[in-house]
Amino acid sequence: MKKLTTALVVAALALPSLGFANTAFTPPAPEIAGKAYYLLDYNSAQVLAARDPDSRIEPASLTKLMTAYLTFKALKEKRLSLEQTLTVSQRGWKTEGSRMFLDPKVPAKVDDLIKGMIVQSGNDACVTLAEAIAGSEDVFAQMMTQQAQKLGMKNTQFKNATGLPHADHYTTVHDLGILAAALIRDYPEFYPIYSMKSFTYNNIKQPNRNLLLYRDPNVDGMKTGYTDSAGYNMVTSSHRDGRRVISVVVGTASPEARAVESSKLLNYGLQFFDTPKLYAANTRVSDVSVYKGSDKLVPVGFGSDVYSTVAKGQAAKLKADLTTMQPLIAPIKAGQVVGKLTVSLDGKPLLERPVVALKAVEEGNFFSRLWDSLKLMLGWK
């Protein structure tokens, strides 16, 4: 009997008409006065510029992005509620550094604690939330590291919920970019808190330390950080004309410097690149042959919108190839990965995305399965 072998089948895939202006000039990324930086297009997940993206850095209060992520996760899973009140422990009350000035005699609402953590960068709020979610800050830090690994943050380890210095508490600007994008994607209902310019608690009003919120109407987040050893850090997100870019800048010399350097990166990403939508989620882009199934073809597409970021004027030069594994044997589940899309520019791959079946295909009847088995054995198509 002839051995059945699988083969990769590659076919060109049509792209939509991309009517972007032909502006050929794309300068290099600006010089950034900081230890490391990272610039990410949110929709395409493509890196637009970076320096030392995987070098270990001290995150300082950028740590609170993960503290917030786990807090939002607890809310979504009904383990916390916004109206719930939490007792402030002595440890939480005495935590050094920036704080929202919690009172250990007065329980605090989760909603206020979240705003105190994000807007006021309150270490006391972080410890209080961590203890409520995990029982202790130490266990919460283990949960933070575990969540980082799940998100693909390969060079991150957390030892506390606040970002106070610890020799084994570290991350990279690359990993912080992954985390910022995950926050926006996974918990959009909470993201507007990051644009709040001030928050008042216990009759104490504190401003958001992200200076770009006051200067640039396109900026709507995210978080600042500082320690003597880390310098001044900032993760920032800006949106314009349907695009969103995320910058991470660490190790600058002052609050003003981190704002200026972040602004340079954000404007570079928004001004000199386009991010067209190539394919919409759950929309058929091709059909793939199926053997031994109730149908002979299965429509394929993508589980989410597909974007690609290119220098302005280059979108019309994009090429897309669909690679599928053949023969494709039923049964096939809706959403099952059946191939991949590769988008390239001038022969250089820009991105890959999984291609999925858009409908289920059940096994065919006995005779159709027998006939397809014979075709496969003889190499007929």
Q: Any catalytic annotation for residue 229?
A: no
String of DSSP letters for 108-170: EEHHHHHHHHHTS--HHHHHHHHHHHHSSHHHHHHHHHHHHHHHT-TT-B-S-SS----TT-B
Catalytic: which of 61, 89, 238, 247?
Answer: 61
Q: Any catalytic annotation for residue 64?
A: yes
Distant-in-sequence, close-in-space partners of 185: CB < 8 Å, separation ≥ 6: none
Q: Which residue carries 């190839």 as its tokens?
A: 321
Q: What SS3 state is found at 96?
A: coil
String of DSSP letters for 313-377: T-GGGEEEEEEEEES-BS-B-TT-EEEEEEEEETTEEEEEEEEEESS-B-B--HHHHHHHHHHHH
Catalytic: which of 35, 64, 264, 292?
Answer: 64
Residue 229: count other Cβ atoms within 10 Å of its Cβ. 9
Q: Any catalytic annotation for residue 78?
A: no
| Pairing between β-strand 47-51 and β-strand 273-274 as defined by DSSP bridges | unpaired
Size (the chain), residues = 381
Instruction: Name residue 287's beta-bridge partners.
Output: 299
Catalytic: which of 89, 121, 238, 247?
Answer: 121
How far apart, in whole angstroms, are the C-alpha atoms of residue 262 and residue 264? 5
| Pairing between β-strand 243-252 and β-strand 306-307 as defined by DSSP bridges | unpaired
Q: What SS3 state is found at 99?
A: coil
How far apart, in whole angstroms, are the C-alpha atoms of residue 110 and residue 84? 6
Active site residues: 61, 64, 121
